Amino acid sequence: MTQLKETTTYLQGKITTQPQIGLILGSGLGMLADEIENPTKIKYEEIPGFPVSTVEGHAGQLVIGTLQGVEVIAMQGRFHYYEGHGLDAVTFPVRVMKELGVDKLIVTNAAGGVDRTLEPGDLMLITDHINNTGQNPLIGANVSEHGVRFPDMSTAYDRELQQVAKQAAEKLNLTLKEGVYVWNTGPSYETPAEIRMLDIIGGDAVGMSTVPEVTVARHAGIKCVGISCISNMAAGILDQPLTHDEVIETTEKVRESFLQFVKQLIQDIG
Ligand code: HPA
């Protein structure tokens, strides 16, 4: 049995629902999973084939159940490349979600604002991304049962789901900015010169996640919608150093509107 099959069979033995929407919850945004009803919670370290999360502030469990009447599977905490996991490991949960029946994925993250019209606390709909790392989770032999060798990325973020997200924000009277997310590996934050470069090449926000998961999701034919919480202005924009504490503080401040928004989004998608 392949690892993917083993993991899927293990999880199927624990759940009674068939999740439709996958949720990946970024730094400081994991509390959404606490609102899932009739939850089955399974710690990553108990799941065969799952890597183990290492960073503080990232709880590591899958939460499977119902949110807004929709069957969901949430990653409360994700795996990051900078933790030392290979991209296979980082994206393995997305493959598992696909096997469990997920066809839509909501990805969230905390990101630094590159575009000067963004402000800490903003929610930004990801309209597209730039992989600035030279890494790709699909490097290596292609497994044709999973997807094609050269997947299309022209609609990495599904247009219809973007519309649904914008309407969800309108319903809640919430300002939803839009922009292009840049993936850097981290874990060091960027230099001011790097941020000037990212601005020039078309980036609006920068972070250390999301792109690997979305790349694999698209390979697997899963439709994606992405939301960044702008937790800080990127390096050099303000005259102050960046800290992880600031990232967490800001995500805590927007917790309530973020929760409301993603719940509305799930209801409207489901
Ligand atoms: N840069 C990279 N990743 C981040 C940032 C940032 O400024 N803020 C939150 N994640």
Ligand 1 centroid, distance to 109 Cα (angstroms): 9
- Return the best residue to mutate from 83, 189, 211 for the ligand 1 pocket (most ligand atoms within 8 A of CB): 189
Q: Looking at ligand 1, which residue's alpha carbon is closest to its atom 9?
A: 111
Mean pLDDT, range 176-185, rounded to an integer: 98
**Predicted complex: ipTM over 0.95:** yes
- The verdict on whether 110 is a catalytic residue reads yes
Mean pLDDT of 167-184: 98
| Burial letters 100-139, b for 16+ CB under 10 A, else e | bebebbbbbbbbbbbbeebebbbbbbbebbbbbbebebbe
Q: What is the pLDDT of residue 252?
A: 86
Average pLDDT of 142-150? Answer: 97
In the reported structure, the alpha carbon of residue 146 is separated from the centroid of ligand 1 by a whole-number distance in angstroms of: 31
For residue 183, the tally of other CB atoms under 10 A from its CB is: 24
Question: Are the beta carbons of 31 and 39 closer than 8 angstroms?
Answer: no
> Catalytic: which of 10, 35, 59, 82?
82
Pocket test for ligand 1, best of 190, 194, 251 (most atoms within 8 A of CB): 190
Task: Kindly report which listed range (61-75, 81-95, 103-117, 248-262) carries the lowest average pLDDT score.
Answer: 248-262
* Catalytic-role residue among 71, 83, 194, 213: 83
For position 57, what pLDDT does the model report?
Answer: 45
The predicted structure's pLDDT at residue 1: 76
Compute the average pLDDT of residues 202-212: 98
Candidate list 197, 244, 249, 252, residue with the active-site label: 244
Q: What percent of the chain is predicted at pLDDT more than 90?
A: 88
The predicted model gives 190-204 an average pLDDT of 98
For residues 118-146, average pLDDT: 97
Among 231, 240, 251, residue to substitute to test ligand 1 (most atoms within 8 Å of Cβ) = 231
* pLDDT for the residue numbered 55: 55
pLDDT of amino acid 27? 79
Quote the CA–CA distance of 144 and 80 in Å, as a whole number.
25
Is 33 in the active site? Answer: no
Judge whether 232 counts as a catalytic residue: yes
pTM: 0.96
Paired strand residues for 132: none
- The phi, psi pair for 34, rounded to 5°, reads -70, -15
Q: What is the Å distance from ligand 1's center to 74 Cα?
A: 22
Mean pLDDT (whole number) for 26-42: 92
- For ligand 1, whether the C-beta of 28 sits within 6 Å is no
